[in-house]
Structure 1
Amino acid sequence: MSAAPYKVWQCRTCGYLYDEEQGDPNEGLAPGTRWADLPATWICPLCGTPKSDFDMIEL
C-alpha cells in the first residue's frame, strides 16, 4: 500500500469530486482506489467528462 496521501480530483465541467480515500462505491470504485488506477477510459459519472479533464485539488 502506498504511503502517499490520498488526493481529490475535480471535474472541470460539473464539479464532481473523486476522493481517492472514499472511492465511489456507487460506481464500483472501492475506498482507497487511486486516481492512477482508474482506467484512461473512465468518465465522470455525473456528466461524462473524460478523466483527462479533471484537476487535482487541495481541500
Structure 2
Amino acid sequence: MAEYRKYKCKTCGHIYDEAVGDPRQGIAPGTRWEDVPEDWGCPKCGSVKAMFTLMKS
C-alpha cells in the first residue's frame, strides 16, 4: 500500500494529511486526496481544494 501523502494550503499553510483526514468535515482518516470531494474547503481559511499542493516527503 502506498504511503499517505500530505497537501499544504497555499493560502494559510494548513496541512491535509491523508492519514488523519478531516473528521470535522466528514472526511475519514485514510481518505486519499483524490477521494476528497471537490467542494471540500480548507478548515482554516475556506480555500478550495485546488489551492492545495502536494508536499515533498
TM range (shorter): 0.7 to 0.9
**Gaps (5+ residues) in structure 1?**
none
Aligned to 2:35: 37
Q: Over the residues paired in the alignment, what is the CA RMSD in angstroms?
A: 1.1
Query: Size of the alignment, in residue pairs?
Result: 57
> How far apart are residue 58 of structure 1 and its match?
2.5
> How far apart are residue 48 of structure 1 and its match?
1.1
C-alpha distance in 2 between matches for 1:41 and 1:21: 20
Aligned to 1:47: 45
TM-score between both structures, scaled by the size of structure 2: 0.88
| 1:18 lines up with 2:32 in the alignment | no
Structure 1 stretches of 4+ with a deviation exceeding 6 A read none
Name the % identity: 49
CA offsets 1:15-57 (integer angstroms, 9 cap, x no match): 1110001112122111101100011121111111110110010
Name the aligned partner's letter for residue 22 of structure 1: V
> How far apart are residue 4 of structure 1 and its match?
1.4
**Gaps (5+ residues) in structure 2?**
none
Name the aligned partner's letter for residue 34 of structure 1: R
